């Protein structure tokens, strides 16, 4: 009789780990682009690595080097403002993740560093509290370690990589994130939320400073989500089935 594998004995953990690895590895690979572009914009290798170690927010980091590349040190105030606006969305994530993380203050303090788009998405996508915690911590760890390693590699060998945009690493990260999001679009209400946020972000991106379109899209998502225009109403039999399905029952 063949021994049962640990994954088969613990499908809850297996599901969370698979999602964390799929998203985390794809996103971490994108750190190559950041490392190469950061040194090309004028940062030293150590400055590039410090940004990844302590800022650890891909959108904010790219905003910094994008502004610095066009305006040098004189553009530092604009770079700080843009990265701050982009990073503000993580405060919204922290409100969602706080009851999931739980525990003493030091655990929540550590979680704050890893509360990013991907860890929040993987964590909240799991059907149980235990799975949510595993998904959050595993995704955060994989991306943090991988992102910092690939940042260092990209910064050191950036000239050898050529134009890093040709490798499509940004598309790989986006595809992994979309793959995680897609199964959640199972009814009209979440589709409406995603579509409204995407339209607002796409329309405002060419005209507004970095970070502002993201915050506007988040605000639209909150408004559309809270109104529940297209979702099942309380007392509707369909509402019970949706709740049961989302709970994994």
pLDDT tens digits, 38-92: 888 888 899 899 989 988 887 778 777 777 666 655 555 655 666 666 666 777 7
**Separation CA 31–CA 24 (nearest Å):** 11
User: Which residues fall within 8 angstroms of residue 235, CB to CB, at 6 or more apart?
Assistant: none
Instruction: Confirm if 31 and 146 have CB atoms less than 8 A apart.
Output: yes
What's the pLDDT at 239?
Answer: 46
State how far the Cα of 247 lies from the Cα of 214, in Å rounded to an integer: 29
Question: In the prediction, which pLDDT does 241 show?
Answer: 46
Residue ranges in the chain whose pLDDT is less than 50 = 1, 4, 7, 237-249
∠ CA 52-149-174, rounded to 5°: 70
Residue 140, pLDDT score: 93
Largest CA distance in the chain: 70
For the chain, how far is it from start to end, CA to CA, in angstroms?
31
Buried/exposed code over 40-78 (b: 16+ C-beta within 10 A; e: otherwise): bbebebeebbebbeeebbbbbbbbbbbbbbeeeeebeeb
Q: What pLDDT score was predicted for residue 71?
A: 60
Query: How far is residue 34's CA from residue 227's CA, in Å, rounded to a whole number?
Result: 38
- pLDDT value of residue 49: 93
Q: Residue 17: helix, strand or coil by DSSP?
A: helix
């Amino acid at each position: 009789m063949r021994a049962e594998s640990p994954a088969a004995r613990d499908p809850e953990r297996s599901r969370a780990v698979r999602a964390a690895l799929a998203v985390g590895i794809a996103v971490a690979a994108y750190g190559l682009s950041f490392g190469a572009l950061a040194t090309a914009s004028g940062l030293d290798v150590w400055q590039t690595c410090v940004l990844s170690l302590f800022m650890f927010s891909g959108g904010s980091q790219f905003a910094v080097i994008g502004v610095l590349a066009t305006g040098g040190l004189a553009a530092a105030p604009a770079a700080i403002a843009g990265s701050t606006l982009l990073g503000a969305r993580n405060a919204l994530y922290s409100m969602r993740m706080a009851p999931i993380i739980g525990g003493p203050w030091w655990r929540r303090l550590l979680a704050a560093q890893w509360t990013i788009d991907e860890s929040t998405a993987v964590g909240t996508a799991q059907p149980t509290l235990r799975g949510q915690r595993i998904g959050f911590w595993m995704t955060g760890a994989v991306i943090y370690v991988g992102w910092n390693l690939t940042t260092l590699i990209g910064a050191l060998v950036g000239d050898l990589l050529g134009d890093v945009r040709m490798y499509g690493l940004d598309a790989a990260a986006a595809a992994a994130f979309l793959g995680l999001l897609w199964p959640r679009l199972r009814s009209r209400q979440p589709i409406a939320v995603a579509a409204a946020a995407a339209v607002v972000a796409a329309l405002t991106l060419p005209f507004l400073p970095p970070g502002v379109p993201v915050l506007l899209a988040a605000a639209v998502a909150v408004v559309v989500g809270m109104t529940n225009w297209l979702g099942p109403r309380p007392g509707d039999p369909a509402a019970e089935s949706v709740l049961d399905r989302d709970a994994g029952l």
